[in-house]
């Protein structure tokens, strides 16, 4: 490699030892200037927390839409209206409109539905003695859950998933091919049009869901525009399934590569709460957050100038040996410092509780219902992304019990 840059994470050989590479970046400085990316890269746990909380560091992804390449401006315009990429006062206003759907009580009420969905998937694959975890379970489970929350009919869900995958490439990859860019622009436009049509059918519908809540907020004069309502519906769909999909694949791979820890979970089911947190820390589905300095900011020893980009690498912070003992060790009973897999501060992931619940239900069911569960493909293949850490596929097998 010609330079020590976060950009190298896009290389397959770096993905194979991602956290070892993060160690090299952190050793070179927990907040250092990355010339190829023209950005500050923050890898130390303490500084990641500071950066995520600092109001002088903006979450606005595209501060000047005119500076975005013309072909991508339609996508950038939608992203710029999403709560993830705005600052106060817009951020708390937008977040508050959907937060009621993600309270601990509301999420726990989904447990039975999630359990039925997981059991249905496993019932179908159980006789075959094998499955591809990402395609057979990790994708369809969160899609089903978030589509139910948004009121998306079952017949439309596969198309929604395909649109989301096209747009996610833009979020996690600074270097796009012409085909990737065109697909992202087309799919974003089709998602916005779809939710616009769906909202037109749903404004007087009897069944309440998150999309209804956004629409009611718009109609009741809460300051939410139609464009904001549609943009944040797209965000909820994408965030509600992309993150959980990656978490399920990463976590299952980690458990099967550490059979002693999987056996520990089977023997000590009371560990599931800490196990989910450790699996999120160990191989986080979301790796970084983008911030931009609104003014000159000192972060650690770094003097960040107004307008400069700051890449806050949560995945590296979760493996900081100054905070976590033996961070490369999977310990499902680990307690102590909190990970930052769901971010930190005011932009902490709104759907974190839902992702935790889906992960617990799905992983527990696989470990208990699939005897002799094991990897059938030891060479993982990762998506090409700076922002996300997720497998393209994960093949497993188990023992088929006669009768």
Residue 217, pLDDT score: 62
Q: Is residue 30 part of a domain?
A: yes
The mean predicted confidence, pLDDT, of the chain is: 91
Residue 402 lies in a domain: no
Q: What is the mean pLDDT of residues 68-94?
A: 90
366 within domain boundaries: yes
Task: Report the CATH number at residue 121.
Answer: 1.10.630.10
Q: Domain for residue 403, yes or no?
A: no
Domains: count for the chain: 1
Domain hosting residue 34, numbered range: 6-396
Q: With respect to residue 129, please indicate whether it lies within any of the assigned structural domains.
A: yes
Segment 190-195 shows an average pLDDT of 93
- Whether 14 shows a pLDDT value over 90: the answer reads yes
pTM for the predicted model, two decimal places: 0.92
Residue 280 lies in a domain: yes
Separation in Å, CA 51 to CA 25, 284, 317? 17, 18, 12
Give pLDDT tens digits for 51-70: 999 999 999 988 888 888 88
- Given a contact cutoff of 8 angstroms between Cβ atoms, the answer to whether 311 and 48 are in contact is no
Asked whether the bond before 275 is cis by omega within 30 degrees of 0, the reply is no
- Whole-angstrom Cα distance, residue 379 to residue 389? 15
Dump pLDDT digits (tens) for 352-369.
999 999 999 999 999 999
Residue 28 — very low, low, confident or very high, per pLDDT cuts 50/70/90? very high
pLDDT (0 to 100) of residue 206:
46
Q: Do the beta carbons of residue 81 and residue 228 sit within 8 Å?
A: yes
The verdict on residue 1 lying in a domain is no
Calculate mean pLDDT across residues 17-24. Answer: 97
Please report the pLDDT score of residue 213 as a whole number. Answer: 67
Is residue 194, in this structure, part of any structural domain at all? yes
Task: Give tens-digit pLDDT for 245-301.
Answer: 999 999 999 999 999 999 999 999 999 999 999 999 999 999 999 999 999 999 999
């Amino acid at each position: 490699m010609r330079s020590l840059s976060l950009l190298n994470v896009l290389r397959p050989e770096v993905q194979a030892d991602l956290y070892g590479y993060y160690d090299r970046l952190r050793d070179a400085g927990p907040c250092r200037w990355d010339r190829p990316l023209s950005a500050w890269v923050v890898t130390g746990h303490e500084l990641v927390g500071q950066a995520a909380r600092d109001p002088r560091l903006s979450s606005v992804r595209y501060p000047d839409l005119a500076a975005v390449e013309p072909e991508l401006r339609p996508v950038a315009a939608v992203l710029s209206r999403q709560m993830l990429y705005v600052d106060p006062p817009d951020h708390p206003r937008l977040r508050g409109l959907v937060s009621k759907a993600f309270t601990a009580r509301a999420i726990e009420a989904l447990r039975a539905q999630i359990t039925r969905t997981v059991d249905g998937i496993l019932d179908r694959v159980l006789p075959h003695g094998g499955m591809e975890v990402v395609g057979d379970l990790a994708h369809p489970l969160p899609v089903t859950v978030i589509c139910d929350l948004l009121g998306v009919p079952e017949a439309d869900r596969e198309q929604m998933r395909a649109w989301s995958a096209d747009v996610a490439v833009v979020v996690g990859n600074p270097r796009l091919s012409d085909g990737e860019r065109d697909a992202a622009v087309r799919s974003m436009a089709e998602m916005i049009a779809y939710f616009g049509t769906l909202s037109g059918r749903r404004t007087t519908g009897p069944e309440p869901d998150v999309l209804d809540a956004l629409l009611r907020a718009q109609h009741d004069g809460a300051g939410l525009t139609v464009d904001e309502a549609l943009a944040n519906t797209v965000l909820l769909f994408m965030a509600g399934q992309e993150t959980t999909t990656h978490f399920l694949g990463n976590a299952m791979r980690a458990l099967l590569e550490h059979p002693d820890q999987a056996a520990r979970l089977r023997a000590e089911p009371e560990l599931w709460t800490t196990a989910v947190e450790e699996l999120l820390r160990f191989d986080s589905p979301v790796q970084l957050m983008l911030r931009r300095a609104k003014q000159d900011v000192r972060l650690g020893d770094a003097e960040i100038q107004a307008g400069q980009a700051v890449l806050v690498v949560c995945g590296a912070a979760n493996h900081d040996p100054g905070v976590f003992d033996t961070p490369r060790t999977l310990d499902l009973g680990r307690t102590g410092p909190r990970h930052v897999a769901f971010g930190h501060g005011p932009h902490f992931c709104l759907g974190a509780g839902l992702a935790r619940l889906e992960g617990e239900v799905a992983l527990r069911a696989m470990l208990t219902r699939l005897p002799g569960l094991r990897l059938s493909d030891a060479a993982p293949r990762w998506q090409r992304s700076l922002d996300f850490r997720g497998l393209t596929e994960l093949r497993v097998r188990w023992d088929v019990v006669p009768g």
